[in-house]
A and B are shown apart, each in its own frame.
Chain A
Amino acid sequence: MDTVLELEHLTVRFDTKAGNVSAVTDLNLTIQRGECIGIVGESGSGKSQTFLASLGLLAGNGKTMGRALFRGQDLLKMNRDELDKLRGDRVTMIFQDSGTSLTPHMRIGEQLMEVLVAHKGHAPDVARKRVLEVMESMRIPDIEKRLTQYPHEFSGGMRQRVMIAMALVCQPDLLIADEPTTALDVTVQAQILNLFRALKAHTKSSIVLITHDLGVVAGLCDRVVVMYGGRMVEEAPVADIFASPKHPYTQGLLRCMPRLDQLLDTDLEAIPGQPPNLQKLPKGCAFAERCTQAIERCHTERPILRQLSPTRRAACHLLDAA
């Protein structure tokens, strides 16, 4: 196996006026070459912070513990120069809001070429050729003209294509996409997801897709990690997570969404209660308060993530009993 990223006991904490906030706690995860892995969870589940922390992009009051091994090197021990060499080259990240990720006063072409000049030391004409190639694979019409335009002249969907192109020009080992289609309309989302599908088929890059949309995960990912309250609660191959979710939270998530392939004329099976307060995480399972199947033990003792089969893990006391 060819491991690209290995997170070991990754923990992220924020110091705030109101006290410590544990955004991510003891996360262990490996990502193999060419794999597309979906990270699913609600806001505050720690899905974005996990990867921001791994790449040294946390806010100033954040603290990361554990190890994040990229091809065997610990990213958390690197200084800024070493990280800068990797980021944008071997590891790239794209964000939800493409409008604020691009430099507003630089032409799109310059921004894209800059990446290649900085990381690969390409001459401008070589860089330009590669940029054209990538833009073409993003199915952007009228490329020559587009390269001379500024970000504000692009629509949201087009800007997201540029972001993906920028993330791909150096052929990274790992592409992290944080809610890449959430801000887009469905018909544009379909276009972008199609690009990701082509990308998966034609490159060896590993993709991490951070999203709250299980539909997007279903179409694209090989493996799924479900996070809740800063911890991984379940991990499984994509077919299994939809066919037989083991954790009550995953089960609840799948049941509570209205779907176009099923028609219900009853109420949705909502998950009761509110997401947990990360400043006051309970002693037991973070989901226990909202879990309809919770037993006494769930409130007093935190379940550990157990290996259920070679490819599946879940953290729930109910699975011990069974």
Chain B
Amino acid sequence: MKTVLKVENLKVHFPIKAGGFLNSKIIPLRAVDGVSFEVGAGECLGVVGESGCGKSTLGRAVLQLIKPTDGKVLWLGENLCDLPREQMRQKRSNLQLVFQDPLSSLNPRLTVAEIIREPLYATDPTIGREDADQRIDEIMKAVGLLPEMRNRYPHEFSGGQCQRIAIARAMVLKPKLIICDEPVSSLDVSIQAQIINLLRRLQKEYGLSLIFISHDLSVVRHLCHRVMVLYLGRMMELADRDSLFAKPLHPYTQALISAVPIPDPAKERAKGTLILSGDLPSPLNPPSGCVFRTRCLKATPKCIKEVPTVEVLENGHQIACHHWLK
């Protein structure tokens, strides 16, 4: 598989004012702190983690919507972080984004056709009306919207339909990579399945690469080829789907998987859930050493002192833990 996106040691730090009135100082909030990964052509990479783990920031930093503090984002070998604005704008036709809340990500004053037409005009102002209309109809059909709906406004649609419009807008330029930031989290279960199926189909048909950001492990397992687990801005584990779910090596991944309720009373009541104590620590004041150590069942004094390095195993499984062998 050809690698299309390569992210190296990506860091996004936000300066935050802390302290009192007299001794205020700027300290960095490390939203993403040294994350590296690759995405192949036609591959779907899942990014999972709890709120505040940096998964959305990561997605935005890859697209340069937030300027990374450090690190490289190589798109087909070219570092996007170094590109001037205008050149980055050109690249965007290949790199698109779909957000969680479909209604607020669509302009309420534009009709569906106008929403989908915008990116077409933005990249090619000379495109003819008929050409544009034809492409709009095509993509509307591909995402399961009827071409008759083209003159309606977003508020006339349900959440699931709005998400289809957002996907159509992202797809109309035939991009090579789409970053989906919790695209099904605000939808009802029965509608979720429709959108997941749609993404799966589009991905296969168009050979799309996807970065699928989600907190829902069941959805990620269904859709993704490889999965990356983040915690407090750091990568904990990265592996192909089957080895991650069958044999998670990191204590955090193990707890995450075990915490997902299974819709089967007998299994759900029999399984022993690994209950982590406490909450996510403040990202302003992350624990020393391994960031997960304050909630980890295997933590030792070594975890306080040393940041675990990412080990790459034979099958490509990446793990950042001092004690994964235990």
A-B interaction: yes
Interface residues of A (CB under 8 A from B): 42-43, 141, 155-158, 185-191, 193-194, 212-219, 238-239, 242, 252-254, 256-261, 263-264, 267-272, 274-275, 290
Q: Is the CB of A253 within 8 A of B245?
A: no
CA–CA, A269 and B245, complex, Å: 22
Q: Which of A43, A185, A217, A268 contacts B222 (CB under 8 A)?
A: A268
CA–CA, A215 and B216, complex, Å: 12
Contacts of B202 in A (CB 8 A): none
Nearest A-chain residue to B49, judged by Cβ: A185
Contacts of B266 in A (CB 8 A): 239
Q: Is the CB of A268 within 8 A of B262?
A: no
Q: Is the CB of A275 within 8 A of B158?
A: yes
Nearest A-chain residue to B246, judged by Cβ: A263
Q: Which of A141, A194, A259, A272 contacts B273 (CB under 8 A)?
A: A194
Q: Is the CB of A274 within 8 A of B265?
A: no
Q: Is the CB of A193 within 8 A of B191?
A: no
Q: Which of B158, B189, B192, B218 contacts A260 (CB under 8 A)?
A: B218
16 contacts between A and B (CB under 8 A): A42-B188, A43-B188, A214-B263, A215-B263, A215-B268, A216-B261, A239-B265, A253-B189, A256-B192, A260-B218, A260-B245, A267-B201, A269-B193, A270-B194, A272-B194, A275-B188
CA–CA, A33 and B219, complex, Å: 37
Contacts of A254 in B (CB 8 A): 263
CA–CA, A269 and B192, complex, Å: 11
Shortest C-beta distance, B262 to chain A (Å), equals: 5
CA–CA, A253 and B255, complex, Å: 26
Q: Is the CB of B193 within 8 A of A270?
A: yes
Q: Is B16 engaged at the interface, CB distance under 8 Å to the other chain?
A: no
Shortest C-beta distance, B280 to chain A (Å), equals: 7
Secondary structure class of chain B's binding surface, majority of residues: helix
Q: Is B91 engaged at the interface, CB distance under 8 Å to the other chain?
A: no
Q: Is the CB of B261 within 8 A of A187?
A: no
Nearest B-chain residue to A44, judged by Cβ: B188
Q: Check A257/B263 contact, CB under 8 A, given A187-B256, A268-B222, A274-B191.
A: yes
Known: A194-B275, A212-B189. 18 other contacts (CB 8 A): A42-B189, A185-B280, A187-B50, A187-B259, A187-B276, A187-B295, A188-B279, A189-B259, A216-B261, A217-B263, A219-B261, A252-B190, A259-B218, A259-B262, A261-B267, A270-B196, A270-B197, A275-B158
Contacts of A218 in B (CB 8 A): 261-265, 267-269
Contact pattern, B 131-159, Cβ under 8 Å of A = 1, otherwise 0: 00000000000000000000000000010
Task: Give the residues from 251 to 287 in chain B that come closer than 8 angstroms, CB to CB, to chain A.
Answer: 255-269, 273-280
Contacts of A257 in B (CB 8 A): 189, 192-193, 218, 263
Shortest C-beta distance, B18 to chain A (Å), equals: 16
Contacts of B261 in A (CB 8 A): 189, 193, 213, 215-216, 218-219
CA–CA, A217 and B268, complex, Å: 10
Contacts of A194 in B (CB 8 A): 273, 275
Q: Check A219/B160 contact, CB under 8 A, given A214-B263, A256-B190, A258-B221.
A: no
Contact pattern, B 35-50, Cβ under 8 Å of A = 1, otherwise 0: 0000000000000001
CA–CA, A219 and B258, complex, Å: 13
CA–CA, A260 and B260, complex, Å: 8
CA–CA, A257 and B263, complex, Å: 9
Q: Is B56 engaged at the interface, CB distance under 8 Å to the other chain?
A: no
Q: Is B310 engaged at the interface, CB distance under 8 Å to the other chain?
A: no
Nearest A-chain residue to B159, judged by Cβ: A43
Q: Is the CB of A155 within 8 A of B160?
A: no
Q: Is the CB of A219 within 8 A of B188?
A: no
Task: Give the residues from 184 to 229 in chain B that come closer than 8 angstroms, CB to CB, to chain A.
Answer: 188-194, 196-197, 200-201, 215, 217-219, 221-222
Q: Is the CB of A268 within 8 A of B189?
A: no
Q: Which of B158, B160, B189, B275 contacts A190 (CB under 8 A)?
A: B275
CA–CA, A201 and B246, complex, Å: 32
CA–CA, A242 and B267, complex, Å: 11
Q: Is B93 engaged at the interface, CB distance under 8 Å to the other chain?
A: no
Q: Is the CB of B262 within 8 A of A261?
A: yes
Q: Is the CB of B259 within 8 A of A190?
A: yes
CA–CA, A7 and B275, complex, Å: 37
Contacts of A267 in B (CB 8 A): 197, 200-201
Nearest B-chain residue to A154, judged by Cβ: B279
Q: Is B96 engaged at the interface, CB distance under 8 Å to the other chain?
A: no
Shortest C-beta distance, B10 to chain A (Å), equals: 23
Q: Is B318 engaged at the interface, CB distance under 8 Å to the other chain?
A: no
Q: Is the CB of B50 within 8 A of A186?
A: yes
CA–CA, A141 and B279, complex, Å: 12
Q: Is B51 engaged at the interface, CB distance under 8 Å to the other chain?
A: yes
Nearest B-chain residue to A197, judged by Cβ: B269
Q: Is B161 engaged at the interface, CB distance under 8 Å to the other chain?
A: yes
Shortest C-beta distance, A138 to chain B (Å), equals: 13
Contacts of A141 in B (CB 8 A): 278
Shortest C-beta distance, B239 to chain A (Å), equals: 15
Contacts of B295 in A (CB 8 A): 187
Q: Is the CB of A186 within 8 A of B158?
A: no
Nearest B-chain residue to A45, judged by Cβ: B188
For the complex of A and B, list the 5 residue pairs with the smallest distance between their C-beta atoms, beginning with the closest: A215-B261, A270-B193, A258-B222, A185-B50, A190-B259
Q: Is the CB of A270 within 8 A of B190?
A: yes
Contact pattern, B 157-197, Cβ under 8 Å of A = 1, otherwise 0: 01011000000000000000000000000001111111011
Shortest C-beta distance, B86 to chain A (Å), equals: 40
Contacts of A212 in B (CB 8 A): 188-189
Q: Is the CB of B279 within 8 A of A261?
A: no
Shortest C-beta distance, A221 to chain B (Å), equals: 8
Shortest C-beta distance, B78 to chain A (Å), equals: 34
CA–CA, A141 and B278, complex, Å: 9
Nearest B-chain residue to A255, judged by Cβ: B193
Q: Which of A213, A258, A263, A271 contacts B190 (CB under 8 A)?
A: A271
